[in-house]
Amino acid sequence: MRRAVVAFGRFWWNFLIGDTPELFVGTLLVVGAACLLRHDRTAGLTVVVALTVVFLLASTYRGCRTAIRPAPVDKPRP
Residue selected from 1, 2, 5, 41 as contacting other proteins according to rule CB under 8 A: 41
20 binds other proteins (CB under 8 A): yes
Report the nearest approach of other proteins to the CB of residue 12 (Å): 10
Please report the DSSP string for 4-55 in residue order: HHHHHHHHHHHHHTTT-HHHHHHHHHHHHHHHHTTT-HHHHHHHHHHHHHHH
Total length of the chain: 78
Residues that bind other proteins (CB under 8 A): 11, 15-16, 18, 20, 23-24, 26-28, 30-31, 34-35, 37-38, 41, 44-45, 48-49, 52-53, 55-57, 59-61, 63-78
